Structures are given as structure tokens and as C-alpha cells.
Amino acid sequence: MSVTVIRLCAVARWEPNGRLRLREAALELYAERGYEGTTAAEIAERAGLTERTFFRHFGDKREVLFEGEAALQDLLVATVNGSDASEPRAALAQGLQAMAVSLAPRRDALRRREAIIAAHPELRERELIKLASLSAALADALQARGLDPATARLAGEVSIALFRVAFERWIADANEQELTEHVGDALGQLALFA
């Protein structure tokens, strides 16, 4: 009588949240080894995924730091466009506050992200491009609300600069004040110059 032995191989179980795990692994590795010293393969390995999976989620290792920018821009524009405020300034404030609310749950990850970006000129350049895109999209939304092009551009630039200052204060805030409060404070400070 013969006996057939069947060996079962352990197959890695699919786990959810691959994108989030890749982002967390990337932030950890960038902090440990530096941005330049980290590869996509190492990020995937740390997350328990394959390099192929990494590239299904992100175009390159830089995009881990800039994911969600299109959604943030869409939120800003949709909020400004959908505002029932009669004054553009109030619609702008609503748009900036909507961005603040969307970013608030990611404070710790955003702190780590900011430290990584600050340490690398090519990433700072990419961040500036992102901010310029937000400003241009906001200017277009304001033009659609009836502002002349020059005023809309100025308002877009000033609003994104204001948001950036509020964001930097929030990241550095040891008192853990909410981003919405920092945005409100910055809007109040700007009103002093109006």
C-alpha cells in the first residue's frame, strides 16, 4: 500500500489597507534611512507586500509623500464652488476650513512627512508645485464666482500662503490646537491688514 503525502505550503494571507501600510512603511524607512537611501522594494518588504503591489499604488517613492493632493484640490474647489456665501472671502474661508478638517486626522503622519520634505530640496520643490496647483485651481474657482482674473489670482495665492502658514503652525503646535483653529487665527490676522 502506498501513501501519498501532500504538503501544504503557507500562502501569505491577503491583508487589507495595502496603501496605508505602504505609506506607513515609507515614512518609517525615510526617517530611518533617509529618502534617498530607501527603495520601493524596501518599502514593499517592510509593509509585507511585493514591489509590484507598491507600483500598483504609487508611481514612485516620491508619490507616497504627495498622495491625495488631487483629492485635496477637488475638495477645496468643490467647497468654494458650492458655497452659498455671497462674498468670495467667506467662500474662501469655507474652502480652507474644509481642507483643514480633511487633514486633521493625519497630524502625526503629516508631521513626519514635513520633516522628510524639509530635508530634501527636490521634495520641497515638489511641495511648491503642489501649492501652486492649489492656488491656480482656487483662482479658477474664484473667477467662476465672478472675480476678475487678477483679483482671483491674488486671492488664490494669498489664501494658499495663509493655509501653509496655519499648517506649519499646526505641525509645530505642542498644545495640539486644531488645524481649523490655526486657519481661523490666520484668517483673523489677515483681516487686520484689510
Of the candidate ranges 2-11, 75-84, 98-107, the one whose mean pLDDT is the lowest: 2-11
Residues 52, 109: one domain? no
Does position 113 have pLDDT exceeding 60, yes or no? yes
Question: Where residue 176 falls among pLDDT bands split at 50, 70, 90?
Answer: confident
Query: What's the pLDDT score for residue 10?
Result: 39
Residues 97, 166: one domain? yes
pLDDT tens-digit profile of 48-65? 999 999 999 999 999 999
Q: Is 185 helix (H, G, I), strand (E, B) or coil?
A: helix
Range(s) of the domain holding residue 24: 18-64
In a domain, 73, yes or no: yes
Q: Is 9 helix (H, G, I), strand (E, B) or coil?
A: coil
In a domain, 140, yes or no: yes
Burial class (CB in 10 A: 0-12, 13-18, 19+), 92: buried
In a domain, 26, yes or no: yes
Q: Count how many domains the chain has.
A: 2
Query: What's the pLDDT score for residue 190?
Result: 83
Query: What's the pLDDT score for residue 98?
Result: 97
In a domain, 146, yes or no: yes
Query: What's the pLDDT score for residue 111?
Result: 93
Determine contact, residues 55/61, Cβ cutoff 8 Å: no
Query: What's the pLDDT score for residue 139?
Result: 97
In this structure, the dihedral spanned by the alpha carbons of residues 181, 183, 184 and 188, taken in order and rounded to 10 degrees, is 140
Residues 152, 164: one domain? yes
Residues 77, 119: one domain? yes
Q: Per the structure block, which three cell numbers stand in for 180?
A: 481649523
In a domain, 118, yes or no: yes
DSSP symbol at 104: G
In a domain, 10, yes or no: no
Residues 79, 175: one domain? yes
- For all residues of the chain together, what is the average pLDDT? 90
Query: What's the pLDDT score for residue 174?
Result: 84
Residues 84, 180: one domain? yes
In a domain, 2, yes or no: no
- Percentage of the chain beyond pLDDT 70 is 91
Using the structure block, give the residue that is written with the C-alpha cell 529618502.
Answer: 35
CATH number of the structural domain spanning residue 154? 1.10.357.10
Does position 100 have pLDDT exceeding 60, yes or no? yes
Residues 104, 157: one domain? yes
